[in-house]
Amino acid sequence: MKQRIYTLIIIAASIIFFTGCAKEESVIHFPNAEINNIDDSKLFEAIKKAEQDKGILSLIVYRNKDIIVEKYFGNNAADSLHPTKSVTKSVTGILLGMAIDRGFIKNPDETVGDYLSEYLAPEDTIIAKVTIRDLLTMTGGFDWNELTDPTWEYWNNWVRSDDHFIYSLHVPIIHEPGSYFTYCTTGCQLLSGIFTEATGYSLKAFAEEFLFTPIGIIGDRPWGADLHGFNYGGVTLNLSALDMLKIGELYLNNGDYKGQQIVSEEWVSSSSSPQVNTNNTMHYGEEYGFLWWIGEQQGINYYFANGYGGQFIFIFNELNLIIVAQSELNNDYYDSGQQWMNTISIIMDDILNAVEFN
């Protein structure tokens, strides 16, 4: 009898324990959400949707100097470094601004010929006149548009070339420089060469000393380089999600990071303001700044660093809001495009829907 009573007590205790656990796990509260005017239940649904997506690796929601959500999926963790793909371009844009702030480069209207003449032949007259501004705004006029070429012929030819930098100097120019937006990585490789010739630093070395360390990005961050030692200005930088958040904080605060002006307020404003229309070649990015995409949703302006397959730093200045996402990479063009859409939809349709605008 005693044994039976003891068994029943154990079973009852187990039911109470597991029921309590299930109840506790079924609801997630974000303690900083309510005080930052974010709907707790809508945010929970957005995070649950991200978890079910299976392709999203990291998601951070930050508002009013508070991290509301810092969520990692699968085997990803806070210290995991992930290829940022074309988010690299936005970091390169910041570094170009810092070089101009410090006088290494006079202004964005200086030309390829001003800095890379030793790599040019006398007949390379058109590329010599392309300006830094043209390269920063994707208006170099190149016969290369990664967004309208589903076969990625341009990209693949560049990747397979023996010398990525020299190849970039000789991509045919079919539009008047400064007149037409064509998204291509080759211009960012020229920016990397210009940067190193002007400063004496590679992008990576300069970033480590003057950008990353001051904003708390400590330790090696892999960043590939070409045969000339020029880091790839458009791709290959690896960062953690928290690293990406710090870059977002820097821009949200107009180039200031905890009282230290890292890049000028003027450069942040110029690079995050519309410089050229993108001809609607990118969802959510109708305009382009200096290597940052720009758009508007529900009357709210935003700009974002944007990487292949779903790598994002979204900044909403009016809302004091940053959303960071990292996603799984897939070599299949269609699958990566779908993952990009899945990730950005969760940001723009689900997370943003949880944020109170007033």
Q: Which residues of 251-286 are buried (b: 16+ CB within 10 A; e: fewer)?
A: bbbbbbbeeeebbbeebbebbbeebbebeebbebbb
In a domain, 227, yes or no: no
pLDDT over 70 percentage in the chain: 91
Structure tokens at 323: 């959303």
The pLDDT tens digits for 184-225 are 999 999 999 999 999 999 999 999 999 999 999 999 999 999
In a domain, 90, yes or no: no
In a domain, 253, yes or no: yes
Q: Which residue has the tokens 């290959």?
A: 236
In a domain, 97, yes or no: no
Instruction: State yes or no: pLDDT of 94 exceeds 50.
Output: yes
Domain holding 279, by residue range, is 1-85+240-358
In a domain, 332, yes or no: yes
d(CA 249, CA 97): 17
DSSP secondary-structure letter at 69? Answer: E
In a domain, 322, yes or no: yes
Structure tokens at 184: 């291509």
d(CA 304, CA 292): 6
In a domain, 129, yes or no: no
The pLDDT tens digits for 106-144 are 999 999 999 999 999 999 999 999 999 999 999 999 999
In a domain, 46, yes or no: yes
Q: In what order do the strands lie in the sheet with 276-277?
A: 66-72, 56-63, 321-327, 311-316, 300-307, 293-297, 287-288, 276-277
The pLDDT tens digits for 24-66 are 333 455 778 878 899 989 999 999 999 999 999 999 999 999 9
Q: Is the four-CA dihedral 347, 349, 354, 358 of positive or negative sign?
A: positive
* Cα distances (Å, whole numbers) of residue 1 to 6, 7, 12, 193: 9, 10, 17, 85
Q: Which residue has the tokens 């953690």?
A: 240
Q: Which residues of 74-96 are buried (b: 16+ CB within 10 A; e: fewer)?
A: eebeeebbbbbbbbbbbbbbbbb
* Cα distances (Å, whole numbers) of residue 112 to 119, 125, 132, 134: 10, 10, 7, 10
Q: What pLDDT score was predicted for residue 1?
A: 45
CATH of the domain at 351: 3.40.710.10
Structure tokens at 168: 């970039």
Could you give phi then psi for residue 114, rounded to 5 degrees?
-65, -25
Number of domains in the chain: 1
